[in-house]
Chains A and B, each alone.
Chain A
Amino acid sequence: MALFARLLKALNSEAAPWQIALAIVLGMIIGLTPLVSVHNLLILFLVLVLRVNLAAFLASWAGFSVLALAIDPLMMMLGDSLLSAPSLQSIWTTLYNQQWARLMQFNNTLTLGSLVISLLIAPVLFVVSRLLVVQYRQRVMVYVNKLKIVQAFKASKIFSIYQKLEG
């Protein structure tokens, strides 16, 4: 419910579509990849420094964290096949001997697999999210706001508490 409220608030806010789309992308990366990773410190820095929508970021992070539980084996399989690919061995060996790369834990199957999937999805997700936000606002938002269930939800205690918390 809180996740839905966050998303609804973000979509209905005055935030630019790119701010919501980028927030969803950054939330996706931090959600899919292992939380305690150096690259997530960079994601957190971007979230705080760029004017991305925090509500959308939190909603995306939570949503993709749940998705990660299901697709972890798939991401580990990808990482495994990449790290064991004979044609890539020289690259991995070079990286293995670089301190920054070891700090990134590139040689972990889950870290590499999830990061590669996240980065591959990121541009597509950004474009699609931005398009959906624009389309939502133009076509759906007015209609949705008129729905009794949404009006009831907006009148509920949860939504008001959430709004207070968000400031």
Chain B
Amino acid sequence: MNKVFRWQGVVAFIVLLGLLYLFSAFLLDRIVKYAIESTASQAVGAEVNVGEVSHRFSPFGFTLSKIEITDPSAPENNQLQIGSASAEVDLLPFVMGKVIIDELILDEVLFQQPRRTPGEVFRAPGETVIDQFAPEDIELPSVDEILAKSPLRTTQAAEQAQAAYQQHKDAVSQAYAALPDKAQLKEYQARLKALRETDYKDPAALVKAKQEFEQIKAQLTEEKQKFDTFQQTLSDAKADLTPKIAALRAAPGEDYDLLKGLVAGDAAAFGDITEAVFGNQARKWSDTLFSALDIVGPMLAKRKQEQQEAVRASGVFYTFNDESGLPDLLIKRARVNIKWQQQTLLSDWFNITTDHTQLGEPTRFEVRSESSPLWQHFAIDGTLSLLADGVHGQQKWQLQGVVLEQLGLSNNPKLSALLQTGLLSSNGQLTVAANALEGAGDIQLSQLTIDAQGSNKLTNAIASALNDLSLVTLRSDIAGSLTSPSFDLASDLDNQLATALTASLGSEAKAKLERLQQSLDERAAATLGPTSQGLTQWLDFETVANGDLGNLEEMLKSQMQDQLDKKKQQLKDKLTDKIFG
């Protein structure tokens, strides 16, 4: 027996396995750490750091600590920071190349935390509206500058009215000129009267008169056609010009309403006040709300892509009908413990996978929290699926009474604004269909206390108006694609500021307003005068033409039949007398 077996070989084999274990114990963690950092960095487009990785064999799993994902748009901050992540992996599916995690626990998840050193950014985020806003350029403009820069309705309406008048003026004039004048009509009238009133003794003369009568009627029909053409031309011109003149009359008033607030500031920049003051913060809120889609989606897609690349490394792996029904990656349940402003939000994720087609159901997520010192109600839920044509999903959120404190809104040298206290409520929904985003949300900021300070006349006025604000409603529209979302903000803030500024700027503003009103009226009058006169003339044409047309139609109705009947009767009587004596 000893000639065949080498029993000390068993010991050697066990020692070899021990060495393999030690190798994995010392190096596996570093390999996993490197793999996560490099893969996630590529997916996010910015530096991702993992503090420590430790693995265990029974039950098989990993624990990661201090995961930091740099915010590409603000590298000094972490977009997402995770205190610790722990996952237990099913070993048997794992040897079949499937990562099946029964439960993943993420603790101390934080958003927008400052980094010790700025993270590296590999893909620069797109320029935002905030980047374009430059309040340092804001100075009080003159009325002329406002009028020059603003897309005035008065100017537009005047141009449209003028163009319409010019377009129809010649056609109406030509159609009117083609009409028979009164003398001609009188001549027709006289000829018809003569024909009708003549006592025809000779039937041949009667027949000749009848022919002349028909000839006149044919001419009258032609004249009638000219009247019809004129009426149609005039009708078209009136239909086109009348509303444009009405719009031109109304335009100065509308422009005045629109510009009376802007008389104190630059129109273009003023429109960005909402973006400038609340845009940055609203984007941060929105980034937080959409983190689920922003972060998890691309990472999962990236993982799927890399799996395909790995297959090419050596040999070719064949796949056959998988009867297990399991996708390559499945996290059956993930509990994410989010920390925000010293409060804890628990979020639950179900069925996180890269192959929703195989799984047959989407990834679900929900974040819920009842009343806390910082909010009254907090709920986000949604679904996410990675299908052949891209990401599909939807997300709804409802936040009520979220307490805001000491929130920096604008830190521009000429306009600084700090939201000291306020309540945020928001609700909305977002749909993703084949990577295309469509959604909208309302953000209401109430019970606001803002500490704003300006450095010139205008920014002082804006600051003063901001300080008086107590309620702002922001409307956000989300569009674009998952990789390049667009986020538009609109609010009633501009109107509120406009009204407040008008009041706060006093006599100078009033003087400007008067000049503005005068300028607008002058602009409208320049076009309104000739155009209105033209329209009035057309109406006169119409009145005259309608009178003439009445005469013409009367003439057309006249008949020679009476004369013929009378003559026929005379001939009949004559014949009767001759026959019966």
Contact = CB atoms under 8 A, between A and B. Distances in A.
Secondary structure type dominating chain B contacts: loop
B28 to A, nearest CB: 14
- B92, B320, B322: most-surrounded residue (chain A CB, <10 A): B320
A108 B310 CA distance: 13
Contact of A96 (B16, B92, B322): B322
A146 to B, nearest CB: 31
Interface residues of B, number: 26
B318 A49 contact: no
A111 interface: yes
A99 interface: yes
A109 interface: yes
A141 interface: no
B5 A50 contact: yes
Contact of B9 (A48, A92, A108, A111): A48
B308 interface: no
Contact of B95 (A47, A76, A83, A102): A102
A111 B318 CA distance: 11
Contact of B315 (A47, A99, A103, A110): A110
Interface residues of A, number: 28
Given A97-B324, A102-B96, A49 B13 contact: yes
Nearest to A47: B9
B314 interface: yes
17 contacts: A16-B3, A34-B314, A45-B13, A48-B9, A49-B13, A50-B4, A51-B3, A51-B4, A83-B318, A96-B320, A97-B323, A99-B93, A99-B96, A102-B97, A108-B315, A108-B316, A108-B318
Given A80-B316, A108-B316, A108-B318, 20 more contacts: A34-B315, A44-B16, A45-B13, A47-B9, A49-B13, A50-B4, A50-B6, A50-B9, A76-B315, A89-B320, A92-B320, A96-B320, A97-B323, A102-B96, A102-B97, A103-B95, A108-B315, A108-B317, A109-B315, A110-B315
Interface in A94-124: 96-97, 99, 102-103, 105, 107-111
B198 interface: no
Interface of B: 3-7, 9-10, 12-13, 16, 92-93, 95-97, 314-324
A16 B6 CA distance: 14
B322 to A, nearest CB: 7
Contacts of B322: 96-97
B318 A99 contact: no
A77 to B, nearest CB: 11
A103 B96 contact: yes
B318 A84 contact: yes
A99 B13 contact: no
A96 B96 CA distance: 9
Contact of B318 (A45, A47, A109): A109
